[in-house]
Amino acid sequence: NVRTITSTDFDGTPPTLTVSVDTLSNDNTPAISGTTDAGQGAAVTVVVTDKDGNSETLSATVDANGDWVISPTTPLPDGAFSVDVSVLDGVGNETTDSVSGVIDTTAPSLTVQGVGDGSDVTPVFSGTSDEIGGTVTLVVTDANGVEQTLSATVQSNGQWSVEVPNGLSEGDYSVETTILDAAGNSTQVNLTGTIDTSVPVVMVNDNGLGNNATPTITGTSTEPTGTVVSISIVDVNGDSYGLSATVLADGSWQVTAPSL
């Protein structure tokens, strides 16, 4: 007798599979995720290979919604990496997919110039960065607590520059400068300066008439200790002499003239 068995349950359709990973990230254990219709509990095999050829094999489990996610247990070094994924359904049909990305955990360089003491109430701040095309953000806060947020683009030569549009109040100010690269790494530089628009006061004592050919010239100033006072002397012949003195702790200064 010949017995014929007919099966109508054959399934030759491979499961669907999607794979997602950040193509550029500062996370060296990036999340690798995706979807599949292989069924709840199906195992998704994930092989992660770093730039040096080192591989780690991982296994993710599909949840009730068809989603799966897993991350490398070994941190990846900076550089390119690849992800090869495969999944089997309940009857052995397999689907594979591959993606790749780049790990970058290096913060961009950043220098800032122009922050310091001065009388310019709309100073120009400038600097350099290796994040060409990146945006430098500056938060400038003056002595009255008024904030201005500025931005500048790093040019092809690595330079950036921006001028404060609204005048800063006299007194101390701060500048918080930040740049963020495409991978999410940031660098911040915090500096302070002082705006001083007051005209310095310098008093010169009257020496009167005398026969001293090398007179000592004295005076006072309201400027801080160490401030340099410049003195110009013109004699009867029209010859001029440039001298300098330093303001002392008590506000006085003095200098002896050359033979006149």
Please give the structure tokens belonging to residue 258. Answer: 């050359």
Query: What pLDDT is attached to residue 3?
Result: 57
Ramachandran region, residue 226 (left: φ > 0; alpha: ψ -120 to 50; beta: rest): left
Mean pLDDT, range 51-62, rounded to an integer: 98
Q: What is the mean pLDDT of the chain?
A: 90
217 with 231: CB under 8 angstroms? yes
In the chain the domains, ranked by start, together with CATH numbers, are 17-103 (2.60.40.10), 111-195 (2.60.40.1220), 202-256 (no CATH)
Please give the structure tokens belonging to residue 247. Answer: 């303001």
Mean pLDDT, range 80-107, rounded to an integer: 97
Where does the pLDDT of residue 250 fall: very low under 50, low under 70, confident under 90, or very high at 90 and above?
Answer: confident
- In this structure, of 40-44, 50-54, 98-102, 254-258, the range with the lowest mean pLDDT score is 254-258
The H-or-E segment that residue 97 falls in is: strand 94-103
Mean pLDDT, range 30-37, rounded to an integer: 98
- 98-111 CB burial, b ≥16 within 10 A, e <16: ebebbbbeebbebe
